[in-house]
Structure 1
Amino acid sequence: MAEDGKSSPPLFGDDDEDVAQSPEPEESVPIDTDTQKEEKGLFDDDDDAENGETKRDDTPPEKEPETTQAPLSSVSDEPKVSAGDDDSTAEADEPAKDEDEDDLDDEYTIEVSVSDPQKVGDGMNAYMTYQVKTQTNMPQFKSHKLAVRRRFSDFLALHAKLAEKPAYLGRIIPPAPEKSVLGMTKVKFSKEESSGSTDFIGKRKAILQRFLTRLSKHPVLRKDEDFQEFLEKTDDLPKAKGTSALSGAGFMRLVKNVGDAVSKMTSKMEESDSWFEEKQQQLDALDGHLKKLITGIDSLVTHRRDLSSATEAFGKTAALLGTVEEHEPLARAMSQLAEIEGKIDSLHQEQASKDFFIFGELIREYIGLIGGIKICFNQRVKLFHAWQSAQATLLKKRESETKMKATGKTEKLPDLEREIKDWEDKVDKGQKEFDDISKRIKDEVTRFESTRVKEFKSSLINYLETLMLTQRQLISHWESFLPEAKAIV
């Protein structure tokens, strides 16, 4: 997320300059090498401070197998089945909850806070650490109250571990916190806590807090062993490798490419589950409107900051005029006006910051979450194609078996029958994986929509309250100046 209060700051590096290149993680689903080369370009802007690159198994390929037909009826005596034509999706559109999930309002809770940022080292070797405090009654934790210190790269490493796990296919992984070479450069070389570095650290702390909070509220991800280790291991975590995070512009390009790839792949897939078609259209529309909204918010923030600068300049001019004015009541009024303008300048700055934090960062986070949903849709399409490929191979094996029996050449028949049995198992496994991820995605999207409404309502109310408070303060300042103006005679 943008952290310097600008629309799309050039974020492309961070505090882990000595991170080594990490080996590519083993992928649960094959990805075209052309796609890997293309995506490497998305990270090029972010590697000035690191040598490693974030790898994610679920990155969408540009090319997909041409096998797009639904399961062939000749494979077995069962009716033709296409994407979504299973018992779990052919009935109601309401998603079924996975058996391994708990409701968010069950008896177990976990509250995580990020605080006390500290600078370690000086110069280019400097980095920030944050205190992560946890209160929980979950039985797998060794204590109900925990406190550890983590550096920024530890947060990125946690995200990478979660994103790489095959068990989380179809899960919406919260977007990783962004890096900012500009912000961290100010922190690394500032001898004292300047306003710029303090503002950057405060924004980053809030982003890290949101990341951990979203993980802690997910009924499955909060039980992850790596998440637990992150929260309770008092020693330093193993050196993070390959934790290069996307800048704001890089992340937006990735989300766009994911969306385009999903659209292309879905068009090749015979989709008979109307739920997925409708959600794909809804998410595309929501994504587009949120991006327009963030553009408007960035413009508003820029406008308020320009107004703040103009107010400051006007106040200084009024102060200078008061020093040379010979008429004492008028000089006193001009001096007071300058003082009031200084207070109003501060109000404009504070409101610009609230515009950015309360609404802007929430919108950016949800654009990232929508990108995560599109990745889940992409994972489902890839599993569908893998299932279809297994169906096609099984059909060929059975055709070979029929020909072998017809010609009487049965010496290789036992081996072929074993192969057919293996491919039947693969087909059954492929269908189960496809059915499972379909149900899982429905549950994740339902949770996403419910949470989105609650969070947008809360942020909207909070934002309106800050606007009202700012206006009341403005009126109070002008009312305090009015008697001084009327005293001019």
Structure 2
Amino acid sequence: GDIVHREGGWYRIGVCVCCVFVFLQSSFSFFCKDLYSSSSRKQMEGSQDLFEAEDTKSRTMSVDLQTDSSLQVEISDAVSERDKVKFTVHTKTNLAYFKQAEFSVVRQHEEFIWLHDAYVENEEYAGVIIPPAPPKPDFDASREKLQKLGEGDGSMTREEFAKMKQELEAEYLAIFKKTVAMHEVFLQRLAAHPVLRKDHNFYVFLEYDQDLSIRGKNKKEILGGFLKNIVKSADEALIAGISGVKEVDEFFEHERTFLVEYHNRVRDATLKTDRMTRAHKNVAEDYIPISSALSSLGTLEASPLNKNFLKLAELFEKLRKLEGRVASDEDLKLSDLLRYYMRDSQAAKDLLYRRARALSDYENANKALDKARMKSKDVKQSEANQQLTCQKFERLSESAKQELTDFKTRRVSAFRKNMIEMTELELKHAKASLLLLRNCLTSLKGDQ
């Protein structure tokens, strides 16, 4: 009673906590009985490690790659230096065209982009899905949050500050690990491909132990790339529409229609999944002041409710950690997967564009040959050009068909693997959350 009169704010919090306690006691016990059988309860009671220990498996987004032991590439180490990340690329190989069987080099993000652009600009790989370039390391958001936390207005308690700092540091570390993983996946895709792995630039990237002297793109080059994409989009529309080039293969017509729809759906799903993950993170952050307030209520003065307040504070702290793991798992197993295949499906669409351009060139060569024959002028040159464009189109079509088939196999395998793993983790966290609430209710009832 004395606390109520002296601390009006604490009184309101106490009333809210009591309401929470009554709700848990009256309704959640019924929910627990209905949801799980007695055998499930026994299993959960012996599973405290569900929420006390981190998953020992690698918590990264995986893209299944069919590699052989002749060329194995991994990023063995990475160091963040202000706005740059230096990756140590480690290679093991028994291929004859490498000077050593095992070696390491240090590379930066710009050098990864250079390698990707070299593949895209090479006409020899027009019939290949070029693995998407890894995203640029971006730690600005996490650093800004840490900076704002350090410049806080003092409204947080010391305990709240420590927990929030721990959350932000964990978020920074997760972004760093994902950055490393995406750069590694890019290299492993190249190493696993029977054609792309033989590129000279790839050898240089892996083996040359000096700086490649690759600078980042300036504003003019970035603008040029943007305009190039606009021209490509306009050309694609021109080929499909005004020029009236018709697809001659039903397989590619189906793939084109599917990839346009698939890419849009994956992009929308990525945005929605990011919002869902952010909501889970917000819930975890909101548990911090609730736990802190309950802990303060339990240590103000001697009261019969002190133990209950402290137990509820402990409950919300454990729920905070659990909710954070839910957000992390959804981010790694779903958001990152969707984001990767959004870029990979764009690479597949680019392949279809290159094939459509080759088909258009072939048809234009046929028309030019007909005109040359009618005028009896430059016939041999037109025939040579027609034959060359025909060979290019047929070669590109054959390669593209295999690439798109492999893309489907790889995509289905990756989604199946990640969906199963994420579902197992969701069930694990749900059981852990239920176990926490049941144990808390049992403990609170025992103190009555």
TM norm. shorter chain > 0.5 = yes
How far is the alpha carbon of 1:105 from its aligned partner?
6.3
Cα deviation code 1:429-463 (max 9, x no counterpart): 01111111111111110010011111111111111
Closer/same/farther in 2, CA of residues 241 and 276 from structure 1, 3 Å limit: same
Correspondence for 2:311: 336
Correspondence for 1:138: 95
How far is the alpha carbon of 1:320 from its aligned partner?
1.8
How far is the alpha carbon of 1:472 from its aligned partner?
3.3
Correspondence for 1:22: none
How far is the alpha carbon of 1:203 from its aligned partner?
2.3
What TM-score results when the alignment is normalised by the length of structure 2?
0.72
Closer/same/farther in 2, CA of residues 185 and 300 from structure 1, 3 Å limit: closer
Cα deviation code 1:140-177 (max 9, x no counterpart): 32333222211111111111111111111121111112
- The counterpart of 1:150, out of the listed 107, 110, 114, is 107
Structure 1: distance between partners of 2:77 and 2:69:
27
Correspondence for 1:274: 250
Residue type of the partner of 1:151? Answer: Q
The alignment partner of 1:203 has SS state of helix
- The counterpart of 2:300, out of the listed 324, 328, 337, is 324
Correspondence for 2:52: none
Structure 2: distance between partners of 1:393 and 1:257:
24
Q: Does 1:128 align with 2:80?
A: no
Counterpart contact for 1:133–1:147, Cα < 8 Å? yes
Greater mean alpha carbon deviation, residues 272-281 or residues 472-481: 472-481
Cα root mean square deviation, aligned = 3.4
Correspondence for 1:222: 197
Greater mean alpha carbon deviation, residues 218-227 or residues 476-485: 476-485
Structure 1: distance between partners of 2:229 and 2:390:
28
Counterpart contact for 1:183–1:197, Cα < 8 Å? no
Q: Does 1:111 align with 2:75?
A: no
Q: Does 1:232 align with 2:207?
A: yes
Structure 2: distance between partners of 1:325 and 1:486:
22
Counterpart contact for 2:260–2:349, Cα < 8 Å? no
Greater mean alpha carbon deviation, residues 165-174 or residues 390-399: 390-399
Correspondence for 2:345: 370
Structure 2: distance between partners of 1:424 and 1:239:
42
- The counterpart of 1:473, out of the listed 411, 423, 432, is 432
Counterpart contact for 1:351–1:470, Cα < 8 Å? yes
Structure 2: distance between partners of 1:118 and 1:380:
41
How far is the alpha carbon of 1:421 from its aligned partner?
1.4
**How many pairs align?**
361
Q: Does 1:453 align with 2:429?
A: no
Correspondence for 2:177: 202
- The counterpart of 1:309, out of the listed 285, 288, 294, is 285
Counterpart contact for 2:66–2:192, Cα < 8 Å? no
Residue type of the partner of 2:203? Answer: Q
How far is the alpha carbon of 1:301 from its aligned partner?
0.6
Counterpart contact for 2:139–2:172, Cα < 8 Å? no
Counterpart contact for 1:137–1:144, Cα < 8 Å? yes
The alignment partner of 1:323 has SS state of coil
Counterpart contact for 1:262–1:374, Cα < 8 Å? no
Q: How does 1:374-389 map to 2 (within 5 A)?
A: 374-389=349-364
Closer/same/farther in 2, CA of residues 279 and 392 from structure 1, 3 Å limit: same
Structure 2: distance between partners of 1:378 and 1:243:
27
Correspondence for 1:440: 399
Correspondence for 1:463: 422
Correspondence for 1:170: 127
Q: Does 1:350 align with 2:325?
A: yes
Q: Does 1:265 align with 2:236?
A: no
The alignment partner of 1:336 has SS state of helix
Q: How does 1:24-35 map to 2 (within 5 A)?
A: none
The alignment partner of 1:324 has SS state of coil
How far is the alpha carbon of 1:241 from its aligned partner?
5.1
Greater mean alpha carbon deviation, residues 447-456 or residues 233-242: 233-242
Structure 1: distance between partners of 2:211 and 2:410:
33
Structure 2 unmatched runs, 5+: 1-64, 151-164
Correspondence for 1:425: 384
Counterpart contact for 2:92–2:102, Cα < 8 Å? yes
How far is the alpha carbon of 1:108 from its aligned partner?
5.0
Q: Does 1:242 align with 2:217?
A: yes
Structure 2: distance between partners of 1:106 and 1:173:
16
Structure 1: distance between partners of 2:105 and 2:400:
33
Closer/same/farther in 2, CA of residues 254 and 281 from structure 1, 3 Å limit: farther
Structure 2: distance between partners of 1:307 and 1:184:
19
Q: How does 1:80-95 map to 2 (within 5 A)?
A: none
The alignment partner of 2:106 has SS state of strand
The alignment partner of 1:311 has SS state of helix
Structure 1: distance between partners of 2:369 and 2:264:
42
Structure 1 unmatched runs, 5+: 1-103, 402-415
The alignment partner of 2:444 has SS state of helix
How far is the alpha carbon of 1:480 from its aligned partner?
4.4
Structure 1: distance between partners of 2:69 and 2:375:
56
Structure 1: distance between partners of 2:299 and 2:141:
42
Residue type of the partner of 2:80? Answer: K
How far is the alpha carbon of 1:225 from its aligned partner?
1.7
Q: Does 1:211 align with 2:186?
A: yes
Structure 2: distance between partners of 1:479 and 1:257:
61
What TM-score results when the alignment is normalised by the length of structure 1?
0.66
Counterpart contact for 1:383–1:430, Cα < 8 Å? yes
Correspondence for 1:294: 270
Counterpart contact for 2:85–2:108, Cα < 8 Å? yes
Give aligned-pair identity as a percent: 24
Structure 2: distance between partners of 1:255 and 1:344:
47
How far is the alpha carbon of 1:261 from its aligned partner?
5.6
Residue type of the partner of 2:410? Answer: T
Q: How does 1:385-424 map to 2 (within 5 A)?
A: 385-401=360-376, 416=377, 419-424=378-383
Cα deviation code 1:243-275 (max 9, x no counterpart): 88x99xx99x99999678645522421222111
> More helix per residue: 1 or 2?
2
Correspondence for 2:140: 183
